[in-house]
Chain A
Amino acid sequence: MKNRERKRYLVFEVISEREINKRELLKEIWGSVYSLYGDVGASESEIWLIGYEKKKDGDTGIDVSEGMGILRCAAYKVEEVRAALAYIHSVNEARVGIGVVGISGTIKGATRLTNPALSKSKS
């Protein structure tokens, strides 16, 4: 019997009106998951925000604040969590848009996704 549930690490990008911090974002993600799936669904999805950082040099080419983060969730709940992330339209009244960049089974793989330069040198 497996002792540990399988996890997935979602790498996501955030564009926002103003800079947002990890705490605000986490609160909003939880709020979104709760409102969509309720207490039971939220407990099953096992969400954990591994990290979130503001990007120093954005690459959209337009005047928005950008950030990138890694979110852990249960492997079989990936699509649900993706929907919950897409549902978020504002964080503390600053409009945001969140898009998942990639999914990995390990933190190592996910970190590689956050830094394309690193992955190029490895492969």
Chain B
Amino acid sequence: MPNFFDLNVHAYPETDVPVEDMLRVAKRYGYAGIAITNNDDISNGNNVSNYIFRGVEIRTNSVSELKRKIKLYYGKVSLLAVHGGSEKINKAALKDFRVDILAHPCGEKGEGELSHVLVRYAAENGVAIDFNLNALIQSKRSDRARILRKMREIFKIVRKYKAMPIITSNAHSVYDLRAPREMIALVSLFGMQKAEAVHALSDIPKDVLEKKWKKEREVEII
């Protein structure tokens, strides 16, 4: 069985759930590791064990602030994510090779914009595009339909331009985590094949953590 990773989990101090509890439930579900990505906060820093990766999720509305924060956090964390949504933020994040993950590009309510031009930037710069299943799980009826449509749209483009999709739970509590097999069943609802989903849950997150894509890019420049 491949090693599964969940690269977008929010824990204490942003929520009131301790990191250890999150990890315990995640391991029980069969994850090999999780990454804690609290919004604009790296205080919960020390890599507590081999299973917890330290990350940050930058959340802002202005491009200049985003750039400033990328500069601030780059190199200090093992995972740099940007909270996407509006088109200008998505664009700025995908154009920057220092960013590892664009988290929820469809926004939390399916309002985000991601065109094929932007996805091409993502493929070039090695920024993984996140499909956030918590948005699906927590929404109802028409909202859910809108998010599913958006994700289907984005995934089509991602597949076409060979960008890297990853699947995350964006969990804020232990009840938001789902086992890998359940995640795979959920993403099949917007057209992701099983093999692609397994890849997006295991190999791609591993490569993202090891910065494999960035290294390849550096080699190309030389």
What residues make up the interface of A, taking CB atoms closer than 8 Å to B?
15-17, 35-36, 60-62, 64, 79-80, 82-83, 85-87, 89, 95-100
Selected from A35, A61, A95, the residue in CB contact (under 8 A) with B175 is A95
Question: Contacts A79-B188, A83-B186 hold; do A99 and B136 have CB atoms under 8 A apart?
Answer: no
Chain A residues, CB < 8 A from B25: 15, 60, 62, 97
A85 to B138, CA, bound (A): 13
Known: A62-B25, A83-B189. A97 touches B176 (CB 8 A): yes
Instruction: Let me know if B181 is at the binding interface, CB within 8 A.
Output: yes
When distances are taken between beta carbons in the complex, the residues of chain B under 8 Å from A61 are: 24
User: Per a CB cutoff under 8 Å, which of A79, A80, A86 touches B178?
Assistant: A86
Secondary structure at chain B's binding surface: helix, strand, loop or mixed?
helix
* B29 close to A (CB within 8 Å): yes
B interface, CB within 8 angstroms of A: 21, 24-25, 28-29, 136-138, 140-141, 144, 173-179, 181-183, 185-186, 188-189
Shortest beta-carbon distance from A78 to chain B in Å: 9
User: In the bound complex, how far is the Cα of B144 from the Cα of A92, in angstroms?
Assistant: 20
Q: Kindly identify which residue among A16, A80, A86 contacts B182, using a CB–CB cutoff of 8 Å.
A: A86
Name the distance in Å between A67's Cβ and chain B's nearest Cβ.
Answer: 13
Instruction: Check B179 against A99 for contact (C-beta < 8 Å).
Output: yes
Given contacts A61-B24, A87-B137, contact A99 B174 (CB under 8 A): no
User: B188 contacts A83, CB within 8 Å?
Assistant: yes
A99 & B173 in contact (Cβ 8 Å cutoff): no
- Top 8 nearest A-B pairs (CB, nearest first) are A86-B182, A83-B185, A95-B175, A82-B185, A97-B175, A99-B179, A62-B21, A79-B185
A86 → B minimal CB distance (Å):
4
A17 and B176 CA atoms in complex are apart in Å by 12
Given contacts A97-B178, A100-B179, are A86 and B24 in contact (CB under 8 A)? Answer: no
Out of B21, B174, B181, B188, name the residue touching A97 (CB < 8 Å): B174
How far, in Å, is A58 (CB) from chain B's closest CB? 11
Of the residues B138, B144, B174, B186, contact of A86 by C-beta under 8 Å: B186
Cβ-defined contact, A64 with B174, below 8 A: yes
> Given A15-B175, A17-B175, A97-B178, do A87 and B186 touch, yes or no (CB 8 Å)?
yes
Measured CA separation A100–B175 after assembly (Å): 14
The answer to whether B136 touches A87 (Cβ under 8 A) is: yes
Write out the residue numbers on chain A whose beta carbons fall within 8 Å of the beta carbon of B185.
Answer: 79-80, 82-83, 86
Contact of A85 among B28, B29, B182, B189 (CB under 8 A): B182
Q: Which residues of B contact A97 (CB under 8 A)?
A: 25, 174-178
Do B175 and A89 touch across chains, with their CB atoms under 8 A apart?
yes
How far, in whole Å, are A115 and B177 apart by their CA atoms in the complex? 24
Report which of B138, B141, B174, B181 forms a contact with A62, defined as CB distance below 8 A. Answer: B174
Question: Which interface residue of B144, B179, B183 has the most chain A CB atoms within 10 A?
Answer: B179
**Would you mind naming 13 contact pairs between A and B with Cβ atoms under 8 Å apart?**
A35-B144, A36-B189, A60-B24, A62-B21, A79-B188, A80-B185, A82-B181, A83-B186, A83-B188, A86-B183, A89-B176, A99-B178, A99-B182
Chain B residues contacting A64 (CB-CB under 8 Å) are 174
Complexed CA–CA distance, A100 and B213 (Å): 34
Whose C-beta in chain A lies nearest to the C-beta of B145? A35
